[in-house]
């Protein structure tokens, strides 16, 4: 099991809104980050500090948190957003980072 829980998959049609959740006790005290990974490519950070979007990341990507649950929202998902998405955050045990198990987003 993972210290951060994510759904294994989410499927939707282009133009719909995707919501991917990440849950874990550490999220109540530490910032969550999300990265996108496509096959054979480097992971790309899409959200940091719970809600911040790095430069060059489309505005349709947004993040939110409530207690021990964080949500990555892709408003009007595009076919090119099809990828694996992972959340991660600091751990409370001796420092370091813990990860979610990843969510495979299918847009078709």
Partner 1 sequence: QVQLQESGPGLVKPSQTLSLTCTVSGDSINSANYYWSWIRHHPGKGLEWIGYIYYSGSTHYNPSLKSRVNISIDTSKSQFSLKLTSLTAADTAMYYCATVDDYGDSVEYWGRGTLVTVPP
Contacting positions for partner 1 (CB under 8 A) = 2, 30-33, 35, 41-45, 48-50, 54-55, 86, 88-90, 93-99, 101-102
| Per-residue CA distances from 35 to 6, 21, 38, 93 (Å) | 13, 13, 10, 23
In the bound state with partner 1, the residue whose beta carbon lies nearer, of 66 and 94, is 94
In the bound state with partner 1, the residue whose beta carbon lies nearer, of 65 and 73, is 65
Any idea what the Cα angle at residue 57 is, between residues 106 and 88, rounded to 5°?
Answer: 70
The least distance separating partner 1 from the CB of residue 98, rounded to whole angstroms, comes to 7
In the bound state with partner 1, the residue whose beta carbon lies nearer, of 12 and 98, is 98
Count of alpha carbons within 13 angstroms of residue 56, beta-carbon side: 2
The least distance separating partner 1 from the CB of residue 14, rounded to whole angstroms, comes to 27
Strands of 1-108 (E only): list them.
9-12, 18-23, 32-37, 44-47, 61-66, 69-74, 83-90, 97-99, 103-107
The least distance separating partner 1 from the CB of residue 89, rounded to whole angstroms, comes to 6
The least distance separating partner 1 from the CB of residue 38, rounded to whole angstroms, comes to 11
């Amino acid at each position: 099991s993972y210290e951060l829980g994510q759904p294994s998959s989410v499927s939707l049609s282009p133009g719909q809104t995707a919501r991917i959740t990440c849950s874990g006790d550490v999220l109540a005290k530490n910032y969550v980050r999300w990265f996108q990974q496509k096959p054979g490519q480097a992971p790309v950070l899409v959200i940091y500090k719970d809600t911040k979007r790095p430069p060059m990341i489309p505005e349709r990507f947004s993040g939110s948190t409530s207690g021990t649950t964080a949500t990555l929202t892709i408003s009007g998902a595009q076919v090119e957003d099809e990828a694996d998405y992972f959340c991660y955050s600091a751990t409370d045990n001796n420092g370091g980072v813990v990860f979610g198990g990843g969510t495979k987003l299918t847009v078709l």
